[in-house]
Amino acid sequence: MHALRLDACSIPLAGQEVVQVVVPLRGAVRAVWHDRGFAASCDDLVAHDLSRVHEVEFEAADGQDTFEMATVEIPRPLLPFSDRQLDDVLGVVQQASGGVPSLLKGFVRDLTLEKQSLRPADGARLGMVALDLISASFAAAIEERAEPSPESHRNVLTLRIQTFIQQNLRDPELTPRKIAAAHHISLSYLYQLFQAQGATVAGWLRVHRLRRIRRDLADPALTSRPIYEIASRWGFVRAADFSRAFRHAYGVTPSDFRKAMTDPD
């Protein structure tokens, strides 16, 4: 088995729940997860959270005596979905013959096979790629499973809006009003969608910008780039606002964080 745990924000999140993406490379895996069972083969991928696996069985490929799989783990709190949305897709097999699931499968396979050649600094960069691919794959699965009801329509719309925000984090003029206009909804309805997720639009946007900045500050290849330049690259116009938000979120100043992550001593 090839396994790799990625922290997309570059600092281990001890004690938090982890989502594991499983990609069978040879043979099949069968398991009982929470309230459902699943069987995944080499054409599939499946994600689950390790704390709710009750039984697991590995089946060797035909004519062989070995089973092999690749896995990648990422902290559950980093995924931009509610618990209810995640529980709709965890433990559910996705066919990985095309689309985003195929991209995710190839990434997990290649990443875990090459893990011995990765440098420590690669973890944060690749963690964000993994987070984006996993989020896109889950969003597609949630949309496919959604029943035609007002609630499912709202959930799908929320996912599309969150994807739009992720794709436009660098835009300093990305405001709630602009987001609402891009999706042809009122500002008040946009606020309602995020309130249903236990969040605010501005807060969700700020959290995901800070995660990108945190990753870049931990990257040794970017140590020569001024902190304010990295912050402005991810949409923060005022340096003071960024510093205050970063310290509130992570308990340290941006400069102290960068020094702790990049200082060889």
Measured from the Cβ of residue 219, the count of other Cβ atoms closer than 10 Å reads: 19
Q: Which pLDDT score, from 0 to 100, does residue 150 have?
A: 63
Identify the domain containing residue 43 by its residue range.
2-145
Mean pLDDT of 206-224: 89
Sheet with 18-26, side-by-side order of all strands: 2-5, 68-75, 18-26, 44-49, 93-95
Both 136 and 199 in a single domain?
A: no
Owner of token pair 């390790």: 50
Both 103 and 166 in a single domain?
A: no
Residue 13 has pLDDT above 60, yes or no: no
Q: Which residues contact 221 (CB under 8 A, 6 or more apart)?
A: 121
Q: Which of 86, 113, 145 is the last residue of a domain?
A: 145
Q: Which pLDDT score, from 0 to 100, does residue 179 have?
A: 96
The whole-angstrom separation of Cα 216 and Cα 56 is 38
Q: Which of 130, 145, 160 is the last residue of a domain?
A: 145
Q: Which pLDDT score, from 0 to 100, does residue 39 have?
A: 86
Both 140 and 188 in a single domain?
A: no
Render pLDDT for 70-101 as a digit per residue (tens, 0 to 9).
888 888 888 888 888 888 888 888 888 888 88
Q: Which pLDDT score, from 0 to 100, does residue 152 have?
A: 67
Mean pLDDT of 226-245: 94
Both 38 and 107 in a single domain?
A: yes
Both 114 and 235 in a single domain?
A: no
Give φ, ψ of 22 to 5 degrees.
Answer: -110, 130
Both 190 and 133 in a single domain?
A: no
Q: What is the DSSP letter of 264?
A: -
Residue 1 has pLDDT above 60, yes or no: no
Both 96 and 112 in a single domain?
A: yes
Both 100 and 204 in a single domain?
A: no
Q: What is the CATH number of the domain that holds 260?
A: 1.10.10.60
The whole-angstrom separation of Cα 51 and Cα 53 is 6
Q: What is the CATH number of the domain that holds 120?
A: 2.60.120
Residue 264 has pLDDT above 70, yes or no: no
The total number of structural domains in the chain stands at: 2
Question: How many Cα neighbours within 13 Å face the side chain of 170?
Answer: 4
Both 46 and 132 in a single domain?
A: yes
Mean pLDDT of 104-120: 80
Render pLDDT for 131-166 as a digit per residue (tens, 0 to 9).
888 888 888 888 777 665 566 678 788 888 988 998
When mean pLDDT is compared across 92-106, 115-129, 180-194, 199-213, the lowest value belongs to 115-129
Both 136 and 152 in a single domain?
A: no
Contact 20, 48 (CB under 8 A): yes
Residue 183 has pLDDT above 90, yes or no: yes
Q: Which of 123, 145, 167 is the last residue of a domain?
A: 145
- Give the residue with greater pLDDT, 218 vs 248: 248
Contact 194, 157 (CB under 8 A): no
Both 136 and 154 in a single domain?
A: no
Pairing of strands 28-33, 18-26: unpaired
Q: Which pLDDT score, from 0 to 100, does residue 9 have?
A: 38
Both 183 and 261 in a single domain?
A: yes
Render pLDDT for 20-30 as a digit per residue (tens, 0 to 9).
898 888 888 88
Contact 2, 70 (CB under 8 A): yes
